[in-house]
Amino acid sequence: MANVVVVGSQWGDEGKGKIVDWLSEQADIVVRFQGGHNAGHTLVIDGKTYKLSLLPSGVVRPGKLSVIGNGVVLDPHALLEEIARLKAQGVNVTPENLRIAENVTLILPLHQELDAMRESGSARIGTTKRGIGPAYEDKVGRRAIRLMDLADLSALGTKIDGLLAHHNALRRGNGQAEIAAKSVYDALAAVAPKVLPYMDSVWSLLDEKRREGKRILFEGAQGALLDVDHGTYPFVTSSNTVAAQAATGSGMGPSSIGYVLGICKAYTTRVGDGPFPTEQENEIGKRIGERGNEFGTVTGRPRRCGWFDAVLVRQTVRTSGIDGIALTKLDILDGFDQIKVCVGYRLDGREIDYLPAGAHAQARVEPIYESAEGWKDPTVRARSWAQLPAQAIKYVRRIEELIGCPVTLLSTSPEREDTILMRNPFES
């Protein structure tokens, strides 16, 4: 039995929500280990759609324990709003099925204001303006307010003063009014009794469950190409999104992870600014976007669309130690006469087989394509290899060759049942 980490192997939006939900049927615990409410998961269960941005995908399944780890940055108001939305859909989230790490960093309104101010300038990178980056900055700057701080209001004032010494200096420099410490204190004191019941020593809880033999599924946000170290810096998120963060962001040792499942689309998408070698700013990209309903779950922003980039996925297979790939949205390519796959790059006249680390070089790489024959018969809702057209199978096999990793799971629609399983990660 293996505890499983699910990571996006592109720039996010690969369909992790459905895959995590599909796998959570076999898991006892689902852990979110990084990011904030800037990433979204859409789940379609029995025709009913659930949109999650902070809560682990397993929360919609009865009898499962959901955990928000210390690697997450938590907006307490966004958390309560999401819990309320799910309740309206008949899903009750309580301290019995949701636990939150006591040392999780909180996102405050001042973080969102700083994020929005930066995005209004010339150095914008395309964030969701949810305050994620500034909250992580305060975390590593050792001035963050953490969930556990709400349990000791007598000491909270001093911590707020330390936080505002930094933020009010920034605000003065940008011509903004300073924030009064009392307003921050009052807001946190008001929300404290609503979120503290969910607080737990998550590292200890997970260690206990692991020793009991419980199956644990680790769920990340975004994708590996948005990793602050290994992604397309500076057009990245503010946390580590690769699989190794599952250990750091939950308090479990790396030996607790048994299998890494990477999620990727049969094509490529990206939200926000930054390099995108295979982007199709033409009718092909528009067709993929419309057929794939490529709009951000959280922001509603249209996603940039392009052909499958095997160079990038091969790179994330290595940086995340991916054991198997879950390939999603194969059905969106139904009906194309020809399908292109990027097999390498050309940079300044020479061929390379990796994405360089520098932003200027990344912006200059030119994709080298090979063409594959498309298929006319539909793959949508296929639940076995026998239901797939021969050319679709050939396409999947070629992707496996190019990325150096097997496709162990194939998704052919948003519905949970429309999944072809070749290998069960929990039994690897």
CB 360 within 8 A of CB 327: no
Kindly name the residue from 13, 115, 227, 309 that is annotated as catalytic. Answer: 13
Catalytic residue list contains 41: yes
CA distance 410 to 92: 31
Question: Long-range contacts of range 387-396, CB-CB < 8 Å, 24 or more positions apart?
Answer: 388/420, 392/330, 392/333, 395/266, 395/330, 395/333, 395/339, 396/327, 396/330
Closest CA to 28 of 55, 54, 74, 62: 62
Kindly name the residue from 37, 41, 111, 167 that is annotated as catalytic. Answer: 41
CB 353 within 8 A of CB 319: no
CA distance 108 to 246: 24
Which amino acid type is present at position 162? G
Q: For 267, what's the count of Cα atoms within 13 Å in the CB-facing half-sphere? A: 29
Catalytic residue list contains 207: no
Q: For 149, what's the count of Cα atoms within 13 Å in the CB-facing half-sphere? A: 17
CA distance 93 to 76: 14
CB 120 within 8 A of CB 112: no
**Paired strand residues for 49:** 44
Q: 3-state class of 295 per DSSP?
A: strand
Write out the catalytic residue numbers: 13, 41
